[in-house]
Amino acid sequence: MNAEDPLAEDQGNDQESAPRESTAGTPDRYVVAESDAGQRLDVFLSARYPQVSRARIRRGIDNHLATVDGQMKKASYRLALEQTVQFTLPPPPADRPQPEPIALELLYEDDAMVVVNKPPGMVVHPAKGHWSGTLASALVHHFDQLSSAGGVTRPGIVHRLDRDTSGAIVIAKTDSSHENLSRQFQARSVQKQYVAVVRGSLGPDRDLVDQPIGNHQSHRQKKAIRSGHASSRSAQTFVEVVSRFPGYTLVHAFPKTGRTHQIRLHLCHLRCPVLCDKLYSGESRLTVGQLRSRCRQPDLASDLPAEHTLLERQALHAERIALAHPTTGKPMEFVAPLPADIQGLLDILRTIRG
């Protein structure tokens, strides 16, 4: 989730017809004049596309479609005289998600916010190849009011979880709540705790991974630990061992930043990739037979056949999130119970611990 300097206005109207629509998909180039020096990048670009919503401008910046003198910058970057800005107007988003009667497990709800225990396999908002079955469609069905600050395709969505990561996700019902929660994420005052089962034996019981994350050199779906690249951003994750098993480790991960795939990449950097993480571990399924072989326990889970699948998604769960209530300021903490697949795997591993 990148929630830096959220715009306070004009973020919900993303179905505009812009006079420069013919330039969508092709870059436009501007030189900063004296009258524009000192302006924020998003404000500067909004002035050049007066009939395009600020949400759409911001989406383009967040998706690395804007450069200043060839370097990617944040929306809040202050421009200097005679700098060159290049921007590719992103296409308009798809229509608002269609309501779908998908069951949701609510951890909390009031007039300002909702906390959902997202199941594995659910995409948070519509995207290429995933237009239905999303959390956004479920939210539109269940709630009459959701914030529009994230744009029409992301009603209520303040931050995200990967499709195959389960756990607690915070939803805003009003724009003011959305803006407050976004500021908390930006200030890194939101505390997040993840549970992960990783392959291998993690070295120290506690470790801080401080490695920048950027775009992968060749794989569009991947991110990579990468220094000195225009797409790279600082990223820090504190990792703590909870339990050790033969060939596996149960850990808690506490991300200090919120980069895409951050926990998965940082654990992979420690040579202990998240179990069944198809992108970064090379496997997407764990059977009872595989577990018996790796643990050297031929009688493990003897009541199950060897071909029985224990896990077929990354073993990563957003277990806990703590923040200040967006309207009252009261400290709040929400805990999402472990899903059945991870819990079942741990139940088996704990029979051989020690």
Which one of the listed residues 162, 164, 277, 341 is annotated catalytic?
162
Predicted confidence band of residue 129 (pLDDT cuts 50, 70, 90) = low
CA dist list (Å): 76 to 33, 38, 72, 84, 194 = 18, 11, 12, 16, 30
In one-letter notation, the amino acid at residue 197 is: V
Residue 163 has pLDDT above 60, yes or no: yes
Specify the pTM.
0.73
- DSSP 8-state secondary structure symbol assigned to residue 248: E
pLDDT value of residue 328? 97
In degrees to the nearest 10, what's the CA dihedral of 172, 174, 180, 185?
A: 20
Q: Please, what are the domains in the chain?
A: 21-88 (3.10.290.10), 106-186 (3.30.2350.10), 191-349 (3.30.2350.10)
Give per-residue pLDDT as tens, 193-245.
Answer: 999 999 999 989 999 999 999 999 999 889 999 999 999 999 999 999 999 99
Partners of 108 in beta bridges? 115
Q: List helix spans (H) across the chain.
A: 41-48, 54-62, 135-142, 175-186, 262-269, 278-281, 288-295, 340-349
Percent of the chain scored above 70 by pLDDT? 90
pLDDT value of residue 352? 86
Let me know if 162 is a catalytic residue.
yes
Q: Which two tokens stand for residue 95?
A: 């229509």
Mean pLDDT of 130-136: 84
Distance CA 124, CA 169 (A): 9
pLDDT value of residue 92? 67
Average pLDDT, the chain: 89
pLDDT value of residue 128? 61
Q: What is the number of residues in the chain?
A: 354
Give per-residue pLDDT as tens, 245-261.
Answer: 999 999 999 999 999 99
